Structure 1
């Protein structure tokens, strides 16, 4: 019924086993990770302190912006407990941020999530996440192979080809963004196909963007399939996932997951909204108490599937000044680097909306003189991986102290 015994364990037994795994990570990190040793010292803690519930809660979280700075200033070795050549792979995410992968089986922990979503031996799965340098494609392909699925490494884009693959091959599973699966279905319909009758897709696992109830319902009706979502990051892998009940996201058994006060880093009582803080049970790259920047809340209501884990009740926004658009994090600091290339720009502002459920990225520019809008868009895309709509305003139309990023999406 479950992929591993811990999924069905009683909450107390599950917590005990996970705490033991967590203490193993702390011991290894305290011995070999220079980043963790420095953070312990800043927090006024010893390794023995951090291996207690109170001491662990007092340990300063590691924020993603700090992780980026550490890699750039001190190098990847500062965070590893092994030599880089002992790793299996090193990916790169926008930032740029390196994402090391250790040699252990199911390193990123997604197999449990795919099993819960109904992926089984014999499924043919179309993978639409990228394989080039970024971790998503391989990170999510290998768990499917663990379950005995065959995988088409389609990658993103080329929608006509995506439709043709589904038409000519018995594709039963899809992995990618829900918004892109909708695009594929609409393209198929425009070519005279009925996605529900002419294609054989029966299950989809989606991630990298927030899944609204309306988008889920639309895609499920379009293809006659089930849509289940997973939640994770390129840094730590799987954090939580939906089961067949789709009543929240089960916290993965391969990580210690907390919901914390964004200001203090202290765990919050169940039911309160706070920042998701994660410690995966991996030792080569021990990201102890990584603050994701995502807001959620933990609930422990029993699930009909029988899993004993707590549930994350969706993602309720961001705790910091970043936002995720079409699977990419948008960092205002990177946008500032782009704006600095154009002396005409006096002030700028990123605005994210989602009319009709589709993310739209725009940049407002307060400029003095003429500016090459196309060149700005190209420069922005080169750094932040997405091309924005650019609106040119007068030199005084954006206050110098205006908020740099406005996320006006409604879910």
Structure 2
């Protein structure tokens, strides 16, 4: 680690990078086939030695994130997809769904140091980590990345905003790490309390849309905030740099953009579903992992000097599953809400972002009765771990289009 780039891998010749990734691929396929029962079945007729190119990789089946809950229920706890015994794991997390996420042994297991370094985080600087440390892995992901750089971390987690302000004022961290909108909440609370927080000059955010108004708000405060894109299952996928022209794909990741609902790669520039393979990720050796997220490849290379492929960033979901305040919300969770309230005939979750924070509105078809809205709202919070409003609509009034989750947020 020195200067502008985390290591020399970021500026290497593109052909050298591609050759290294393809050389690592057969061993990764062999490891998955030999150690993960699900891949032993899926790849029974595949000779790993022959999977040494993108074309050969594209012939393999995809593993869909949307199917993990069912796979794990059928073959607990990880759907037969882990490449090491459970006893060799470092941690086990649980994302909404529920989906169990195994973490292997090792320092920067999720490779987030590269993204933090690109945001300006440097050795010795305190990092104020506002990602959750329980159930989901984001807190652990970025703490490990900060430690790899050589930074002490304050494990702030979420909530307790007034205390967050007090700690930042006392410890004077240089960097905030968390969801895009929570830093704004902290800064506004500091204004309300009459507390200045001049030490915060760097921010790194993910888990939600980082829209232009929020970028402007932070810039006017003298805080340079950058974003990354990753998933709980495999960690960092791509990250923003000082060039602010798309997101640079992480060095260890083989990224494909495929036509949604298929495994067929689309031409560069066409919007499709993000599919990734991370050779060497032995504890959880997912192959052609279809994230359900939409993005597209940008032409050329970044002016920052990093030579890897760039993507436009997160452009929505390929299915109706969506992300709200950093948490996935699945259609099956809305079905669970209905199951617990037999008087509700149909439901449609509308996700919006009218200001700088995600909101959820669950429209339900039902005959109005006292306490129904509050009861359904409580169930929605219990099932999704997120709060939302509930509105009762007359029976037969919701659109008959099969849509359970309607994400009306704008990402342009």
Alignment TM class, shorter chain as reference: over 0.9
Match for residue 267 of structure 1 among 258, 265, 268 = 265
Aligned to 1:70: 71
Aligned to 2:81: 79
Aligned to 2:318: 319
Residue 202 of structure 1: how far off its partner (Å)? 0.8
Residue 171 of structure 1: how far off its partner (Å)? 1.4
Aligned to 1:389: 389
The change in CA–CA distance for 1:120 and 1:39 in structure 2 (over 3 A counts) is same
SS state of the match for residue 110, structure 2?
A: coil
2:124 maps to 1:126? no
2:340 maps to 1:341? yes
Match for residue 15 of structure 2 among 8, 12, 16 = 12
Residue 200 of structure 1: how far off its partner (Å)? 1.1
Aligned to 1:31: 34
Deviations 1:357-380 (A, max 9, x none): 321101001003525222211111
**In 1, are the aligned partners of 2:334 and 2:404 still within 8 Å (CA)?**
no
Residue 103 of structure 1: how far off its partner (Å)? 1.2
Aligned to 1:151: 153
Aligned to 1:55: 56
Residue 134 of structure 1: how far off its partner (Å)? 1.5
Aligned to 1:306: 305
Query: Please, which runs of 5 or more residues in structure 1 have no aligned partner?
Result: none
Query: Please, which runs of 5 or more residues in structure 2 have no aligned partner?
Result: none
Alignment of 1:140-219 (within 5 A): 140-194=142-196, 198-219=197-218
CA RMSD between the two structures: 1.6
**In 2, are the aligned partners of 1:323 and 1:330 still within 8 Å (CA)?**
yes
Distance in 2, matches of 1:57 and 1:22, equals 12
Alignment of 1:281-296 (within 5 A): 281=279, 282-296=281-295
Deviations 1:25-59 (A, max 9, x none): 11111222121222225xx6443444443221021
Deviations 1:243-270 (A, max 9, x none): 1222111100121111111132112221
Distance in 1, matches of 2:344 and 2:381, equals 17
Q: What's the TM-score once normalised by structure 1's chain length?
A: 0.94
Distance in 2, matches of 1:65 and 1:320, equals 9
Deviations 1:65-124 (A, max 9, x none): 212211111112611121100111111111111111111332111111111111011211
SS state of the match for residue 82, structure 1?
A: coil
Distance in 2, matches of 1:9 and 1:302, equals 12
**In 2, are the aligned partners of 1:45 and 1:55 still within 8 Å (CA)?**
no
Distance in 2, matches of 1:24 and 1:217, equals 45
Q: What's the TM-score once normalised by structure 2's chain length?
A: 0.94
Distance in 1, matches of 2:119 and 2:84, equals 34
